[in-house]
Amino acid sequence: MTPSINSAMDTRTWAMLIILSVLWGGSFFFVGVVVSDLPPLTIVTLRVGLAALALWSIAYVMGLRPPRALEVWLAFFGMGALNNVVPFSLIVWGQTHIASGVASILNATTPFFTIIVASLLLPDERATPVKFFGVVIGFVGIVVMFDLSTLGEGKGALAQLAVLGATLSFAFAGVFGRRFKQMDVNPIVTAAGQVTASAAVLGPVAIYYEGPIDFVALSLDSWAAIVGLAVLSTAVAYVLYFKILEVAGATNLLLVTLLIPVSAILLGSFVLGEALESVHFIGMMLIAIGLSIIDGRLWRLMRKVELPITVARKRARSPLK
């Protein structure tokens, strides 16, 4: 039986979610810095490889050791494929043709795919009609933002589809990752195991298709971006990711994508000099509305505030004092 989770998040979980959003928002910035110096698969390989070293170092300091069960390692490879190999490669390739801010906004659609996938596969995360309404609003935002004019010019439209494909992979990863709680695997070990599996898969592929890395030719900025991408946006982020997934579930976890575009757009704009068009902000607004409907907290809070006001108005109109 799949373990149950808490559908409501407390203050501590929300704090972890906000920190995670900043770390993942920074990943789009880091990729934007290094993507001109290294090919996509090489970037992803360095990201997961260095993250694996960092995570296992943390694990050993905490007295944690790699699991020996074959079942757990097979799950690591499955999680690594869904959560790293496929989506990271698609996003990095997509960012070779679209701005990091656009990629982060498209990435914010992950909860919409997660609602559908989790509703189909997880008995304790069935979607309500209200959540499906939020999904519809979010997909309207995607349609509004999607640049159809690039269909016949270059690879802009294909890059946008690649990022959307990555979000679908993240959705399946959020559902797949629930099994690690049932296996009683520590979140840090889970994070380390899945990036290790990803590095084992990607390393040979990257060398075969893109050749060895010319480390001498890399600039200091690129090295700093790679370290930030691996340590902050992957190693530290995944510790938070699997902890939130364990206590709050796949749907709540992926609300983080509502917050990611904020840091990604600010960094892309002020540091990389990227500019977004009005259609991107309109699309992001619709996605944000859809996510707020899915989450439900904002609407419940508005009703709580509105109720005393309504009661006060009725009393004021009543002839009885």
Share of the chain above pLDDT 90, in %: 25
Please tell me the distance from the alpha carbon of residue 265 to that of residue 241, in angstroms, as a whole number.
22
Residue 256 and residue 300: Cα distance in Å, rounded? 19
Mean pLDDT (the chain, rounded): 79
Compute the distance between CA of residue 189 and CA of residue 191 in angstroms, rounded to an integer: 5
pLDDT in the model for residue 138? 72
221-276 residue pLDDT tens: 899 999 999 999 988 888 887 788 777 776 676 667 667 776 677 777 666 666 66
pLDDT tens digits, 171-208: 898 888 878 877 888 888 988 999 999 999 999 999 99
The whole-model pTM stands at 0.72
Q: How far is CA 260 from the centre of its chain?
A: 8
Tokens describing residue 212: 């060895």
pLDDT of 298: 59
Q: What is the pLDDT of residues 53-106, one digit of tens each?
A: 999 999 999 999 999 899 999 999 999 999 999 999 999 998 888 877 778 778
Residue 1 pLDDT > 50: no
